[in-house]
């Protein structure tokens, strides 16, 4: 059990050492967060309105996902859209 705890602490410390600050993130990604949108709703009019509001391109994969870059100002509203059950926000590694 102690060995597992030590390994967990080591992983946490390694990730913390590799993390970047918010300022570095914003500079690197120009104030936009890369996300993948999974469309829960199948209502075309709702999907169109969401795409227009957040500037999401008109592409959906066979898995029902769309890559997007969302500005920091819009991320809270996008989360509200997720809470209402229209989408699911997924964070996929690059």
Say if residue 11's pLDDT is above 90: no
Give the pLDDT score at 26: 57
> CA quadruple 55, 59, 64, 66: dihedral positive or negative?
negative
Say which residues have a Cβ less than 8 Å from residue 86's Cβ, sequence separation at least 6.
Answer: 39, 40, 41, 46, 50
Contact 87, 37 (CB under 8 A): yes
- Indicate the pTM of the whole model: 0.68
Which residue is listed with tokens 């597992």? 4
Distances (CA, A) of 87 to 15, 29, 47: 29, 23, 9
Top pLDDT among 11 and 62 is at 62
**Per-residue pLDDT tens for 29-52?**
677 888 899 999 999 999 999 999
């Amino acid at each position: 059990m102690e060995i597992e705890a030590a390994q967990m602490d080591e992983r946490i410390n390694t990730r913390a050492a590799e993390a970047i600050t918010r300022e570095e993130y914003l500079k690197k990604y120009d104030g936009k967060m890369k996300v993948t949108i999974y469309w829960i709703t199948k209502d075309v009019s709702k999907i169109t309105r969401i795409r227009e509001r957040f500037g999401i391109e008109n592409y959906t994969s066979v898995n029902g996902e769309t890559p997007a870059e969302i500005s920091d100002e819009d991320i809270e509203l996008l989360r509200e859209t997720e809470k209402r059950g229209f989408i699911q926000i997924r964070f996929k590694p690059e």
